Structure 1
Amino acid sequence: MAKPKKNKNNTIQIISRNRVARHNYFIDETFEAGIVLTGAEVCSLRERPAQLTDTFIVVRNGEVWLNGMHIHPYLRGGVWNPDPDRRRKLLLHKRQIRYLDQKLRVKGAAIVPLQMYFDEHNRVKLTIALGKGKKLYDKRADMAKRDSDREIQRAMKQRSRRVRL
C-alpha cells in the first residue's frame, strides 16, 4: 500500500470558515465532527472552498445532519457529481449526539458550523459549536467594543512611534 500524503508540517488545511457565526451567536462549546462526503465532493473541496454562511445543523432520530452547505460540482466529476445542496450526515459519538439534542431543547440554542478543514490525515472535518443567538443590542455592544479596542491599539502604536523618535 502507498503511504498517505501528509500536509506540510502535519497541520490542518482550512477549507472554509463561517465568519458570521461568531457575530450572530454566543459560542459555548465546540465539537469536531466528521462529515460523510462522496469522492467527487472531496476533490471539489481541494479545488475551491465550500459555502458555510447559511448552513444549520439539525438532530433527527439520533443522527446529526448538516443542511444548506453548497459544495461546487467537481469539474471532472461527470455523472458522479451529487446534488451540491444536499443534506450531509455528520459523524459524532452517540453520547455527544444525545448531549447536543438535550442542549437544543433550550430556547435560543442552536448548533452552528464554524469551519471546515482537512486534518493531518487528509480527512474532511467540521468544527461545530453549541451557541445561543445574540440579540441586536448584543451585536451592537460587540461592535462598539471591537471599535474601541481598535482605537486603543492605534493610539498605543502611535505613542510607541513617538517614543522611539
Structure 2
Amino acid sequence: MAKETGRKLVAQNKKARHDYHIEDTFEAGIVLTGTEVKSLRAGRASLVDGFGDVENGEIWLLQVHIPEYTQGTWTNHATRRKRKLLLHRQEIARIERRTSEKGLTIIPLSLYFKDGRAKVEIALARGKKTYDKRHAIAERDATREAERDLGRRLKGIH
C-alpha cells in the first residue's frame, strides 16, 4: 500500500473560535489505539467538549469523543478516554507556564491525518464574554451587508 501524503481533516471545533480568543496554536501528535485510528479514518470524531490538561510534565486530551469502531470486537476502546499528546519538552513547558495564568485553557481546534499520522491542533485560549460574542456577530453582519451592497451597486441593482 502506498504511503499517505497530505492532510485529511477528520473533525473540527468550529465553535471554539466563537467561544474563545485564540492566543497561540500548536500541532501535537496523539497516542491512539488501533480501533481509534480505524474510527478516525472512517471520519468519525467530535471535539466539542474537549479540553487539555497538564499533568506531571505531560499534556492530556480529555472529553474528546471518538466513537467505537463498528467492526471492532472486545478490543474496542472507551469513547471518551484520556489521550496523551506528543509535543516537544520546550512546548510543554511553555504551555504549562501559560496555562498557570488565570483564564487560559487548552482546547482542541482540529483533528486530522498528516502524512498518515494522527495529529491534533490545540490552542491556548481565553474564554470570551457574552458581549464579546455579540460584538463579533454584529461586526460580521455589518461587513457582510457592506459587501452585499457593494455587489448590488456594481451589478447596477439599487
Q: Please give the TM-score of this superposition, normalised by the length of structure 2.
A: 0.95
Task: Name the counterpart of 2:13.
Answer: 18
Task: Name the counterpart of 2:121.
Answer: 127
| Separation (CA, whole Å) in 1 of partners of 2:71 and 2:6 | 28
SS of the residue 1:22 aligns to? helix
| Separation (CA, whole Å) in 2 of partners of 1:84 and 1:131 | 25
Deviation of 1:46 after TM superposition, in Å, equals 1.2
SS of the residue 1:157 aligns to? helix
Which residue of 5, 13, 20 corresponds with 2:3? 5
Per-residue CA shift, 1:86-110, capped at 9, x if unaligned?
0100001111111101001111111
The code of the aligned residue for 1:94 comes to R
| Separation (CA, whole Å) in 1 of partners of 2:65 and 2:140 | 31
Per-residue CA shift, 1:32-54, capped at 9, x if unaligned?
00000011111111113201011
Which consecutive unaligned segments of at least 5 residues does structure 1 have?
none
Task: Name the counterpart of 2:74.
Answer: 79
Q: Does 1:153 align with 2:156?
A: no
| Separation (CA, whole Å) in 1 of partners of 2:2 and 2:68 | 25
SS of the residue 1:106 aligns to? coil
Task: Name the counterpart of 1:41.
Answer: 36
Which residue of 48, 53, 71 corresponds with 1:53? 48
Deviation of 1:4 after TM superposition, in Å, equals 4.0
Task: Name the counterpart of 1:32.
Answer: 27
Which consecutive unaligned segments of at least 5 residues does structure 2 have?
none
Q: Does 1:118 align with 2:116?
A: no
Per-residue CA shift, 1:97-152, capped at 9, x if unaligned?
11101001111111111001110x21110001111111111111101101111111
> Where do 4+ consecutive residues of structure 1 move more than 2 Å?
3-6
Which residue of 59, 70, 78 corresponds with 1:64? 59
The code of the aligned residue for 2:136 comes to D
The code of the aligned residue for 1:20 comes to K
Compute the RMSD of aligned alpha carbons: 1.2
Q: Please give the TM-score of this superposition, normalised by the length of structure 1.
A: 0.91
